[in-house]
Amino acid sequence: MAEVWDAVVVGAGIEGSATAFQLAKNGCQTLLVEQFPLPHSRGSSHGASRIIRKAYVQQHYAQMMKEAYPIWEQVQQETGTQLYMKTGGLMVAPSSSQQLDQTERSLAGAGSEFEKLISDDLKLRFPNLSFPADYRAILDPEAGVLKADKALRCFQDLFVKYGGRIRDEEKVVRIDPGDVVTVHTSKSTYKTHRLLLLPGPWAGKLLAPLGLQPPLEPVRISVLYWREKQPDTYALKKGFPVFVDHTIPHKYGLPSLEYPGIYKLCFHSGPVIDPDNRDGVAGSHGNQAIVRMMCDYVRKHFPGLESVPAIQESCMYTNTPDEDFILDRHPQYRNIIIGVGFSGHGFKLAPVVGKLLCELAMDKQPSYDMTPFSLSRFHNTATPQAKL
């Protein structure tokens, strides 16, 4: 009889890799299956940098970030790799912003430090930014940059170190639920007691045949890099913080690691696309409008940057309507666990996501209230007519 794995994880992005690591570390014989050759740049977890911060509007994430930092620290220690660079994080918005008010409450509720800046402080401390007099800000001192590509590699290395096995270039093409789940890939068939699905933007394609249709939208994000007029104006080594403008839709910026003298500043939204055709027509039309808008934004608020992007890349978010993740069991097949809908803010939280999904898979009491992440918060997620 074929080997039955304790767990099979589908998707070797940051969420699947962090989850696989937790399972292996907790003694589960685990297989991690990925459709593309690793590493790849076709999902959501590629690129050199991501923002890490405690400053969150939602208190549950502010709480979870308190645990994420020490796990990132453990991963750094265990792999001997620097992944986190502390820069501080500047969150700006008009003075009337309820989002900033709520972020202050979340940080205070989580017992995390922060600093409030009124308009004059903002001008004095950050003379290379230009915001109207009715703007204010919060400084999150623990915020910084995560070295994303390296972080992904570290989780995969640790997973293998704890006995896990990775199979890349194998697409999962069919899942037969049961007490023992059968997973058919483009190359093989695996049997497992638990299946964890972390397919990123491909979630809709993998979940529909299992009778689930949560409201997920894969969107294309234009990753825009802007040349500094004077090198190092917004540089990490000059202590320039990571940046979020809470005016909706959000914009965010971080000192670039990959291209010296070039700052990364992006729009937190994009056109809905098919993940297998990310850069197709729909994506490129939406991209042009976003680039134009961001050129205006740079001209107004970042006078030290040239106002035409020097480099453009692509990435994808998988958005839920409320921007909360979905971390839950399949309502019918209890040994199928789902982690999707990371809505463009899941990287920093991956260590805690991995821990929570591992707890669900191993029938342990989850460390956090799972209500915000439940599949059932959306109506009509089930498609009973779907072929199983």
Ligand X SMILES: Cc1cc2nc3c(=O)[nH]c(=O)nc-3n(C[C@H](O)[C@H](O)[C@H](O)COP(=O)(O)OP(=O)(O)OC[C@H]3O[C@@H](n4cnc5c(N)ncnc54)[C@H](O)[C@@H]3O)c2cc1C
Q: Which residue ranges make up the site for ligand X (CB under 6 A)?
A: 10-16, 33-36, 43-45, 50-51, 171-172, 198-202, 206, 221, 223, 266, 315-317, 342, 344-348
Structure tokens at 182: 């059968």
Of residues 359, 355, 363, 365, the one with CA closest to residue 18: 355
How far is Cα 45 from Cα 354, in angstroms, rounded to an integer?
15
Min dist. Cβ of residue 292 to ligand X (A): 18
Residue type at position 96? S
- Give the helix ranges, DSSP H, for the chain: 14-25, 59-79, 98-109, 119-125, 148-161, 203-207, 281-301, 350-361
How many angstroms separate the CA atoms of 208 and 314, rounded? 26
Distance of closest approach, residue 91 Cβ to ligand X, in angstroms? 13
Closer CB to ligand X, residue 275 or residue 304? 275
Q: Which residue number places its CB atom closest to ligand X? A: 13
Q: How many CB atoms lie within 10 A of CB 174?
A: 10
Nearer to ligand X, 15 or 228 (CB): 15
Closest approach, Cβ 38 to ligand X, in A, equals: 8
The β-bridge partners of 219 are 272, 317
* Strand, coil or helix: 357: helix
Decide whether 123 or 378 has the Cβ nearer to ligand X: 378
Contact of 36 with 42, CB cutoff 8 Å:
yes
Complex with ligand X: residue 170 or 359, whichever CB lies closer: 170
- Report the amino acid identity of residue 205: K
| DSSP 8-state class, residue 296 | H
Minimum distance from CB of 203 to ligand X (Å)? 8
- Residue type (1 letter), 49: S
Q: How far is the CB of 126 from ligand X (least distance, A)?
A: 19
Shortest distance in whole angstroms from residue 349 CB to ligand X: 6
Give dist(CA 179, CA 192) in Å, integer. Answer: 9
CA distance 30 to 8: 6
Taken in order 344, 348, 349, 352, is the CA torsion positive or negative?
A: positive
C-beta of 48 vs 382, nearer to ligand X:
48
| C-alpha pair distances (Å), 208 with each of 90, 202, 273, 323 | 40, 10, 17, 20
Please name which of 325, 360, 354, 376 lies closest in space to residue 56, comparing C-alpha atoms: 325
Closest by CA position to 17, among listed 374, 347, 369, 362: 347
